[in-house]
Structure 1
């Protein structure tokens, strides 16, 4: 790994003119440090619970691998963002800097996935092949690495790593190339047991990598949703391994989920929230004939709604109609939804996003942006 020199820089990468800021403290490498990079830590993060990101931005050593392993785009987003969110409980965003994983490369990840998933013997009739797959599902999809750095003097040192282990809830397989797909649901308890074994083996491999021998590591197990699901899966368990340790002691259960609105799950389990989304949809339908319904994603932690995202697809015939619709939807958000969770309403058409209404938990009034 290259050493990294640090500059406390401006939020914008304009090194020569940062308004009301001091000149950047540019630290030049010593003559015997020819492989050392000059880097910047921005002065500001977007919020207190988000990490500052080391610049220039260095992509992961396994860049792009996740898209070959995890088939649902919303799962990919939640795996990346959710792992960073859970990392804040271990690696303080006020103290540490974020960087994509720099240690586990694509070949290493593919090799581990292949070795830690069961092998299905070829041969036999079609029924035997189907049974062999159902009895030996490939649960393990992907490893996501995130690094956390601490500034010390003129350099940043790696102090911690978070590892997201992505696991299937449904195993999709073929018995022959070009043949039909078959599906095997994987019970959560079986997936958890397998995920914990996989984490132990990944940990032992990581401890053999130079630079990872003596750092704190958080492991989090992610349960994917079905490939066609409009909402993502969720993290189900996590653990923290102390510096230098090569075994996992105990796991902490994570009780969170993404719930589709409208759905039977929302209606049966979170009926009060379901009724609010339903009322919002009905009120819009009263006045806008081009409206076709809403799709919502409610994110729950310990059964409590923490954020609600709603997409409203509708066809418009002019900018005035967009403004009028957004004004009306703004009023409905204020009237219907309480302010103890984040809410975001995205108004879309065949041309893309038309407007955005959002309100953070605790705020009285939503904010609005109409795209030009």
Structure 2
């Protein structure tokens, strides 16, 4: 029996020695206001790039964010959803350096709080930020005069580590405020829409930022936390390009009002479009030539659109979607190789290019070229 035990022990030691150990996370403690309920959390040891935040994941949490479902329900354009949340993190880098701060989805504003704030002010909802109106009896004119300006609020948390300790604490918040550019409503049995000017959205958004800051400061755990704000203007629900950020401001840990507002000069431009032809003619010509080359190779392709992202009127990235019906995997490979060569030859080097090739709502291949990169990344899906 002892010999048998020795054999089993040897086998266990051999297996243990051969089993790889993956040390790809760092366990920390996230401080809370309740000293008896500290949360354990993990931080990945690797980030996706030098310019991205490492995300804190709370162990055993039933939800990643306190308000996961609000954005999807409040914003009608999927492109707006992606740009609002992703762009908010991009603008947060001005205040919270990714080399020093960790990211965590908002933990303070839950679904009920946000839905209350996004509703209309009323006797039953004093927290509503949108102007008061009895929508059951309001006339068309009353709807137009008092639209629902604000559609969504997103909270993001930024944390730092305390020295060399395995403790992280909240060091800053970012609050995104999304404003409608078009207000759709129904009055007297008919559907209407009202355009909201950018200047009006900007003015209202800054008012909301101060109101939201006042409410955050009412919480003991947020009284001395810096808060950055960014105001976003949505596109229409059926638009093929997302909206854009208008302005950002900041309140230091001891501030009770938002200051240091600065305008944001960003926009997404659809190719082909009249706007692209008028405002970005040279880029529109490059896309037109690219489109022609693709149609020469594959005359029956369904169509192609692209979104160019401009910052301070300079093109930073272009994302191209090519929908084509393929008959075989070899066609996918051949066409991807051809598009790869076009990307190398036709697009300039100072902006990123992403090409998605799709068929029947399924992505077939991906080509990505970053500025300064000699050769694009290419992946063909099985």
CA distance in 2, matches of 1:231, 1:217: 29
- The aligned counterpart of 1:342 is 352
Kept in 2, the 8 Å contact 1:143–1:166? The answer is: yes
Q: 1:228 to 1:90 in 2, by over 3 A?
A: same
Asked if 1:273 is matched to 2:278, the reply is no
Residue 93 (structure 2) aligned to one of 77, 88, 91: 88
TM value normalised by structure 2: 0.87
Distance 1:168 1:156, change over 3 A: same
Counterpart position of 2:80 = 75
Deviations 1:282-319 (A, max 9, x none): 01111212212211011000000101000000111111
CA, structure 1 residues 22+68, in 2 after alignment: closer, same or farther (shift >3 Å)? Answer: closer
Q: Does 1:210 align with 2:223?
A: no
Aligned in 2, Cα 1:34/1:120: closer, same or farther, shift over 3 Å? closer
| Aligned twin of 1:44 | 46
Aligned mate of 1:189, from 199, 202, 212: 199
> What is the aligned partner in structure 1 of residue 3 from structure 2?
none
Number of residues paired by the alignment? 349
Aligned partner (choices 364, 371, 376) of residue 366 of structure 1: 376
Q: Indicate yes or no: 2:127 matched with 1:134.
A: no
Three-state SS of the structure 1 residue aligned to 2:139 is: helix
8 Å contact 1:121–1:132 — kept in the other structure? Answer: no
TM alignment of 1:315-326, pairs within 5 A:
315-326=325-336
| CA–CA separation in structure 2 for the residues paired with 1:22 and 1:319 | 36
Whole-angstrom distance in 1 between the partners of 2:85 and 2:314:
22
| Aligned residues: CA RMSD | 2.2
- CA gap of 1:134–1:149, structure 2 versus 1, over 3 A, is same
- 1:3 maps to which residue? none
Per-residue deviation, residues 161-216 of structure 1 (Å, max 9, x unmatched): 0000000000011115xx43211000111111111111111110010113111011
Gaps of 5+ in 2: 1-18, 120-127
Segments of structure 1 that go 5 or more residues without pairing to the other structure are 1-15
Q: Does the 8 Å CA contact 2:47/2:53 hold for their aligned counterparts?
A: yes
Per the alignment, residue 11 of structure 2 pairs with: none
The match for 1:62 among 45, 61, 67 is 67
Q: Where has structure 1 moved over 3 Å in runs of 4 or more?
A: 16-19, 21-27, 121-124
Q: CA 1:62/1:333 → structure 2, altered by over 3 Å: closer, same or farther?
A: same
Q: Rg: which structure is higher?
A: 2
User: Does 1:163 find its partner at 2:168?
Assistant: no
Structure 1 residue 97 and structure 2 residue 102: aligned? yes
